[in-house]
A and B are shown apart, each in its own frame.
Chain A
Amino acid sequence: AQSVTQLDSQVPVFEEAPVELRCNYSSSVSVYLFWYVQYPNQGLQLLLKYLSGSTLVESINGFEAEFNKSQTSFHLRKPSVHISDTAEYFCAVSGMDSSYKLIFGSGTRLLVRP
């Protein structure tokens, strides 16, 4: 079984400041890792994913996340945020065991202020 912990329910930050959204997971099998984003009144969109290979993965809009196996973490970072990054961010894992169902964290609301 897998579980995901997102300790921060809300992260307020000023525009152009850096941000880190934390994600830790536990699993008895190898996992794939994902960050999904949900903009206000919209559906879930994949932001980035780690399947294998390089532990640092990047999105097209400047976010990056690093898979750290020893610390079982997959923190999301962006060096300079924009107002438009205001959204709910969900970390998720899927175990390479059976159905590849996604197990989600509780989400972190990123609130970017001008």
Chain B
Amino acid sequence: GAGVSQSPSNKVTEKGKDVELRCDPISGHTALYWYRQSLGQGLEFLIYFQGNSAPDKSGLPSDRFSAERTGGSVSTLTIQRTQQEDSAVYLCASSFFQDTQYFGPGTRLTVL
């Protein structure tokens, strides 16, 4: 079956613009995670969704970052007023409850 998909694969934006990153999890997976991978900070957890429970937003670095998950499936990560330090690869993962997390290919975000 299909794995986790993310779009776009690459995004170049100007400082101060808003961006939206999309994640399509594996069908039937209940949990969805966002991480980011950057040279300076390595792999960092951002946010977690599990079913209809309140999301765990403890990893979001600032209030410019937000995410939603519609219908328990697709998720969108939004970064407002992007800064150069937001440049990174944003990874989405999904799992069946607390089972193994499967990662998507990522979205490479470059803020000029």
Contact = CB atoms under 8 A, between A and B. Distances in A.
Interface string B12-56: 000000000000000000010101000000111100101000001
A113 interface: no
Interface in B48-76: 48, 50, 56, 58-59
Contacts of B95: 100
Given A44-B103, A49-B100, A106 B45 contact: no
Interface residues of A, number: 20
A103 B100 contact: no
B103 A99 contact: no
Interface of A: 36, 42-46, 49, 90, 92, 94, 98-107
B56 A43 contact: no
Interface residues of B, number: 23
Interface in B72-110: 91, 93, 95, 98, 100-106
Nearest to B48: A99
A100 B44 CA distance: 13
A43 B48 CA distance: 19
A43 B43 CA distance: 12
A43 B35 contact: no
A43 B104 contact: yes
A104 B42 contact: yes
Nearest to A101: B45
A90 B43 contact: yes
B98 A100 contact: yes
Contacts of B48: 99-101
Contact of B45 (A42, A103, A107): A103
Contacts of B50: 99
A101 B42 CA distance: 15
B56 A101 contact: yes
B31 to A, nearest CB: 8
